[in-house]
Structure 1
Amino acid sequence: MSTLRGIVSLLLLTLTTLLWGLPLLLMTVVKLITPGHRLRLAVLRVLNAIALNWIGLNLWWMRHWLKPRLEIELPEGLSRQHGWLVLSNHRSWTDIFVLFFALHRRIPMPRFFLKRQLIWIPIVGLAWWALEFPFMRRMTAAQRARHPHLARRDQQATERMCQRAREMPIAIFNFVEGTRFTPAKHAAQDSPYRQLLKPRAGGVAQVLNLLGDQLAGILDVTLHYDNPRPTFWGYLCGREERIVMHTRLMPVEDWMPGGNYQDNASDKERFHTWINALWHQKDDRLSRF
Structure 2
Amino acid sequence: MLNFLPGPVLYIISSLLLVINTTIWAGLISIGGLIKLLLPFTAGRNFLTKIMNKFMWSWATCNGGILFLLADIEWDIEGLEKLDKHGWYLLISNHLSGLDIAVQTYVLRNHIPMLKFFLKRELLYVPLLGLGCWALDMPFMSRTSPAKLKKNPKLKGKDLASTRRACEKFKTMPTSIINYVEGSRFTEEKRIRQDSPYRYLLRPKAGGIAFTLSAMGEQFTNLLNVTLVYPEAESDPLSEVMHGKIKKITVKVEVLPVPEVDNKRYFSEAQYRVEFQRWLNQLWEEKDEQIHQVMLKNGVAKEDRP
TM-score between the two structures when normalised by the length of structure 2: 0.80
1:217-258 Cα shifts (integer Å, max 9, x gaps): 1111112222232331221221124322222111124x3477
The residue number in structure 2 matching 1:171 is: 176
Q: Indicate which of 179, 195, 198 corresponds to 2:200.
A: 195
What are the within-5 Å matches in structure 2 for residues 235-254 of structure 1?
235-253=241-259
The residue number in structure 2 matching 1:278 is: 283
Q: Indicate which of 227, 234, 238 corresponds to 1:228.
A: 234
> Secondary structure at 2:266's aligned position in 1?
coil
What are the within-5 Å matches in structure 2 for residues 1-289 of structure 1?
1-114=6-119, 123=128, 126-134=131-139, 144-148=145-149, 155=160, 158-160=163-165, 162-226=167-231, 227-253=233-259, 255-256=260-261, 260-288=265-293, 289=295
Q: Which amino acid aligns with 2:77?
A: I
Using the alignment, how far apart are the partners of 1:126 and 1:151 within structure 2? 29
- Unaligned stretches of 5+ in structure 2? 1-5, 296-306
Note the C-alpha offset of 1:204. Answer: 1.0
Q: Which amino acid aligns with 2:205?
A: R
> Secondary structure at 1:76's aligned position in 2?
helix
Using the alignment, how far apart are the partners of 2:254 and 2:132 within structure 1? 30
Question: Of the two, which has the highest radius of gyration?
Answer: 2
Note the C-alpha offset of 1:89. Answer: 0.4
Note the C-alpha offset of 1:46. Answer: 2.2
CA contact (8 A) 2:224 2:256 kept: yes
Using the alignment, how far apart are the partners of 1:257 and 1:197 within structure 2? 26
CA contact (8 A) 1:220 1:249 kept: yes
TM-score between the two structures when normalised by the length of structure 1: 0.84
Using the alignment, how far apart are the partners of 2:57 and 2:135 within structure 1? 14
Q: Which amino acid aligns with 2:45?
A: R
Note the C-alpha offset of 1:286. Answer: 2.2
Cα distance change of structure 1 residues 281 and 50 upon mapping to structure 2, 3 Å threshold: same
CA contact (8 A) 1:93 1:232 kept: yes
Using the alignment, how far apart are the partners of 2:45 and 2:269 within structure 1? 36
- Unaligned stretches of 5+ in structure 1? none
Cα distance change of structure 1 residues 153 and 58 upon mapping to structure 2, 3 Å threshold: farther
Using the alignment, how far apart are the partners of 1:65 and 1:211 within structure 2? 39
Q: How many residues align?
A: 284
- RMSD (Å) for aligned C-alpha atoms: 3.1
Using the alignment, how far apart are the partners of 2:103 and 2:190 within structure 1? 23
Using the alignment, how far apart are the partners of 1:114 and 1:237 within structure 2? 31
Cα distance change of structure 1 residues 212 and 153 upon mapping to structure 2, 3 Å threshold: closer
CA contact (8 A) 1:84 1:218 kept: yes
Q: Which amino acid aligns with 1:63?
A: F
1:83-122 Cα shifts (integer Å, max 9, x gaps): 1111100111111122123211210011024578977988
Cα distance change of structure 1 residues 135 and 237 upon mapping to structure 2, 3 Å threshold: farther
